[in-house]
């Protein structure tokens, strides 16, 4: 499963401005770690993070679960705004 695509689809499902969503994978020094950066428009930041960070936590949990089902890497997700 493509975890970057999964992350992008999940984020786009909660934002208003889907065209402003950017999800990219970056290399890490750690062997078994994947780093995904999510960029959204400033007005969508609250939707992606959620109250008390609950939406962001749920996003991380879903992506990490998908990774572990495929033998997986530990996934770190950074969420930021443009």
Determine the Cα–Cα distance for residues 22 and 46; give it in Å rounded to an integer. 16
Q: Which CATH superfamily is domain 3-81 in?
A: K homology (KH) domain (3.30.300.20)
Write the pLDDT tens digit of every residue in 29-82.
998 999 999 999 999 999 999 999 999 999 999 999 999 998 788 999 999 998
9-36 pLDDT, tens digit each: 999 999 999 999 999 999 999 989 999 9
Question: Is-contact 50 56, C-beta < 8 A?
Answer: yes
DSSP letters along 23-45, please? EEEE--SSTTEEEEEEEE-GGGH
């Amino acid at each position: 499963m493509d975890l970057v695509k999964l992350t992008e689809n999940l984020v786009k499902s909660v934002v208003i401005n889907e065209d402003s969503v950017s999800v990219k994978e970056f290399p890490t020094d750690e062997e078994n770690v994947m780093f995904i950066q999510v960029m959204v428009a400033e007005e969508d930041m609250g939707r992606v993070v959620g109250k008390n960070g609950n939406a962001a936590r749920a996003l991380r949990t879903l992506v990490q679960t998908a990774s572990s089902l495929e033998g997986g890497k530990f996934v770190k997700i950074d969420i930021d705004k443009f």
